[in-house]
């Protein structure tokens, strides 16, 4: 099953930019997932097992280094990567 994930990362420390960039770059290196950067969050697409495996691995590494980091994750059970939105009409 394909899924789409919207994930935001909030390291609760003064040096918050680099950990976010490192996390996104690590996710982009994961096989079998597609990552799109946005200004407010990051979108991850792929098969459920692949996406969850990649996120689990990378989130665990972040929390080991920065245990006060907050992740906000939204999941939808379909591939929204190629959907074009024209807004509400």
- Measured CA to CA, the distance from residue 30 to residue 70 in angstroms comes to 21
Written as tens digits, the pLDDT of the chain (89 aa) is: 999 999 999 999 888 999 999 999 999 999 999 999 998 999 999 999 999 999 999 999 999 999 999 999 999 998 887 666 565 44
User: Is domain 2-76 given the CATH code 3.30.930.10 in the classification?
Assistant: no
**What is the spatial distance between Cα 68 and Cα 71, in angstroms, rounded to a whole number?**
10
What are the sequence ranges of the domains in the chain? 2-76
Predicted pLDDT at 81: 72
CA-wise closest residue to 62 among 31, 33, 21: 21
Count of CB atoms situated within 10 Å of the CB of 89: 3
């Amino acid at each position: 099953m394909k899924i789409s994930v919207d994930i935001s990362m909030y390291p609760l420390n003064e040096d918050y930019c680099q950990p976010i960039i490192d996390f996104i770059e690590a996710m982009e290196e994961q096989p079998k997932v597609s990552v799109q950067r946005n200004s407010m969050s990051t979108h991850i697409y792929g098969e459920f097992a692949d996406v969850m495996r990649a996120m689990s691995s990378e989130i665990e590494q972040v929390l080991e280094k920065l245990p006060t980091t907050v992740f906000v994750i939204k999941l939808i059970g379909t591939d929204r990567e190629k959907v074009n939105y024209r807004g509400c009409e």
